[in-house]
Amino acid sequence: MALSLPLGGRRATAAALTAVLLVPLAACSGGDDGDATAADTKLTVLAAASLTDVFKTAGAAYEKAHPGTRLTFSFAGSQELVAQVSQGSPADVLVTADTKSMDKVRADTGTPVVIATNRLVIATGEGNPHQVDDLKDLGDAKLKVVLAAPEVPAGKYSEQILAKQGIQVKPVSQEPNVRAVLSKVELGEADAGLVYRTDAASAADKVDAVEIPDAQNAVAQYPAATLKDSENAEDAEAFVAWLASADGQRILRDAGFQKP
């Protein structure tokens, strides 16, 4: 015989499932559950995978400065975030790793503000065992190279800079986001991969980063915008403004992101 959960049980189950899908910040109250439940504004931020580490730091700082606000982040490739917005997933702020992705949901957002820029590097195993010195080395058929998929901003940037140098690369895999590329190199499943400078820095104890000259590189821009369907429009606007403020910019710079 089928069991019917009481209303409270169904709500609790739904809440538990939602918690699994999102990445909540630890409460900035020092572990006091009473303070944690006192927050009266909860913002959901959809953010590019390359922002994972810095946004956790930025979110904690923002919550400390705005004790009435709690932030929950959902990190993924920008193309996945755009699909979520297009499908009506409830959220308050969107931050992508390129302006083209943001443009695809222009009707659903407020005016975007570029909060940071980034550049690509070649990530290799620790100690650079295959002696990868520059982009042309990625064309070596003996080298196992992994790239982000073409629909991912990091993948688009990678294709752009390789094509500009006339370098043909046959990747062993194309990943759904730039963090997956980094993971392949970290685990030794790939000899090299193109990732953002900040990604390589986040795993400096596991990978080496080979710099790409600016003349051969691409500049990744990170626009942030509020979502028009947000139920917390003013608070969402305040968070986007904070990311562009001196406090937000300081955290982004400390993590290796460059000025807009």
What pLDDT digit, counting tens, does each position of 169-195 carry?
999 999 999 999 999 999 999 999 999
Are 105 and 122 in the same domain?
no
Distance of alpha carbon 117 from alpha carbon 158, whole angstroms: 15
Q: Which of 35-49, 129-143, 215-229, 241-255 has the lowest mean pLDDT?
A: 35-49
What pLDDT digit, counting tens, does each position of 107-144 carry?
999 999 999 999 999 999 999 999 999 999 999 999 99
Q: What is the pLDDT of residue 26?
A: 42
Q: Which of 27-31, 193-197, 223-227 has the lowest mean pLDDT?
A: 27-31
Which residues are registered as beta bridge partners of 173?
146
Are 159 and 125 in the same domain?
yes
Asked if the structure places residue 26 within a domain, the reply is no
Mapped onto helix, strand or coil, the DSSP state of residue 20 is: helix
The model's pTM is: 0.83
Task: Work out whether strand 41-48 and strand 69-76 pair parallel, antiparallel, or are unpaired.
Answer: parallel
Domain of residue 177: give its range.
118-219
**Maximum Cα–Cα distance across the chain:** 69
Amino acid letter, 194: L
**155-176 as b/e: b if 16+ CB within 10 A:** bbbbbebbeeeeeebebebbbb
Residue 78 in contact with residue 151, Cβ under 8 Å?
A: no
Q: Where is 248: in which H helix or E strand?
A: helix 246-254
Where residue 149 sits, what CATH number does that domain have? 3.40.190.10
CA atoms within 13 A on the CB side of 79: 13
What pLDDT digit, counting tens, does each position of 152-161 carry?
999 999 999 9
Are 102 and 151 in the same domain?
no
Are 238 and 206 in the same domain?
no
Asked if the structure places residue 227 within a domain, the reply is yes
Are 226 and 213 in the same domain?
no
Query: Could you please report the per-residue DSSP string of 52-121?
Result: HHHHHHHHHHHHHH-TTEEEEEEEE-HHHHHHHHHTT---SEEE-SSHHHHHTTGGGB---EEEEEEEEE
CB atoms within 10 A of CB 141: 9
Are 128 and 184 in the same domain?
yes
Q: What is the pLDDT of residue 87?
A: 96
Query: Could you please report the per-residue DSSP string of 166-201?
Result: T-----SEEESSHHHHHHHHHTTS-SEEEEEHHHHH
Angle between helices 246-254 and 233-243 (to 10 degrees): 60
